[in-house]
Amino acid sequence: MVLRTAEETAKLQKRFLELCDEASVAAQKLIIERGKGYNVNIAIPDYFPDGERDIFYEVHKKLMRIRSLRNAPSEHAADAPIEDSILDAINYLRFMYAFRKLVAEREATR
């Protein structure tokens, strides 16, 4: 059991949420940067012809990569920072969210 004062808990919570915001901003920047080169004539959903199944597979790959990096000797992990894979996983989960919303919007207009 963790024992903290209310002030310590509030401070930790504030910092944790700041870091969550930082991750969101970094993930969004990553989408923009990577998309400059190849999302010109193809929309992101077009990369996932089987929809959620394809996105779930990408999430799975990223989570396996993170697991692998966590277990890799540090000299090998330095070549591929774990944060990059975490941001990729965040983005694939964001894609899943957006894809589900798009499907719901289409179904609502039928």
Could you tell me if residue 1 is inside a domain?
no
Question: What is the per-residue pLDDT for 80?
Answer: 63
Q: How many domains does the chain have?
A: 1
Question: If you ran DSSP here, which 8-state letter would residue 49 be given?
Answer: T
Q: Are 88 and 62 a contacting pair, CB within 8 Å?
A: yes
- 67 touches 10 (CB < 8 A): no
| Per-position pLDDT tens, the chain of length 110 | 789 999 999 999 999 999 999 999 999 999 999 888 776 788 899 999 999 999 999 999 999 999 998 888 776 656 668 999 999 999 999 999 999 999 999 999 98
The distance from CA 45 to its chain's CA centroid, rounded to whole angstroms, is 16
User: Which tokens sit at 60?
Assistant: 């799975």
| Residue-range definition of the domain harbouring residue 88 | 6-108
